[in-house]
Amino acid sequence: MTYLEFVPIAFGLLSAVTWGAGDFCGGWVSKRTGVFGVIIGSQFVGMLLLIGLALIFDRTPPLPGDLLWGAAAGAGGAVGLLALYRSLAAGRMGLVAPLSAVLAAALPVLVAAFTQGLPENVQFVGFGFALLGVWLLSRPEGSLRFQWNDLTLPVVAGLGFGLFFVFIDRASERAAFWPIVAARVASLTLMTGTALVNRHPLWPRREHWPLTALAGVLDAGGNAFFTLATQTGRLDVASVLSSLYPASTVALAWAVLKERLTRPQWLGVGAALLAIVLIAL
């Protein structure tokens, strides 16, 4: 593999690591304060960071179409988040986490097959192992029982996250960070409006700001690395590798909180590592 071929893979993996770490920090602080306050606070911090990166690194102004695609991506991501948390509130963690994660990775693979052609056979096998790994890593302990009407919100969540991947990829290569800023503005607007309607706190308490801010910085980093991965390589490779973020979350929970990994999660780690090797071949 040449250096240029490895670059998008490295960006995709960095996106997974930082997104997973951001989810760990956000989930940890959410246990102590309101979820909406953590989401809005972390996204606000991330937006400030992304604006700074755009001012420094984007040498040319974005086209209006770039910002529109970015805003559409942010709206898709916000809808995915809202569906995710609504489903989690209904007690469907065992279904929503793995199904939404797999759908979020699978949708860009289908789109890339039509727009960029099919990947190499060995990469396609790697995609399969990656999706299996995401499913196993995201599933909590216990059996999975559900009715068909329980699928609606997890499917909406997965499609929302998948559309974020697809729409961000549509943004022009003229600007790497301004489209993500537009995505963050759209997402913040929708999340803030939802919090106001439902009378949720808009900000975390003062003592929870450091961890909230760290979650925002890591989430913004994940967005930036994913965008760079799509600009230097294929959408499907970037999306599948970025979707391995549960491995980072699980690893941090094991290392920091001493949480025990279940047998399926260990199998998921193995599947994810095998997927990385196959995709990189």
Task: Decide: 102 and 154 in contact? Cβ < 8 Å.
Answer: no
Q: Virtual CA dihedral for 178, 182, 183, 188, nearest 10 degrees?
A: 130
Residue 118 phi/psi, 5-degree rounding, is: -70, 145
Count of residues in the chain: 281
Q: State the pLDDT at residue 142.
A: 58
pLDDT band at 51 (very low <50, low <70, confident <90, very high): very high
Distance CA 203, CA 34 (A): 8
The pLDDT confidence band at residue 105, using thresholds 50, 70 and 90, is confident
Does residue 130 carry a pLDDT above 70? yes
How far apart CA 55 and CA 52 sit, in angstroms, is 5
Band of residue 68 on the pLDDT scale cut at 50, 70, 90 = very high
CB within 8 Å of 212: residues ≥ 6 apart: 25, 26, 29, 37, 38, 41, 42, 45, 204
Distance CA 35, CA 51 (A): 24
DSSP 140: -
pLDDT score at 11: 94
pLDDT at 70: 93
Mean pLDDT of the 156-175 span: 86
More confident residue, 14 or 133: 14
Q: Could you tell me the pTM of the whole model?
A: 0.89
Give pLDDT, residue 95. 64
Structure tokens at 117: 């052609």
Band of pLDDT at residue 116, cut at 50, 70 and 90 = confident
Residue 146 pLDDT > 60: no
- Distance between CA atoms of 147 and 60, rounded to whole angstroms? 51
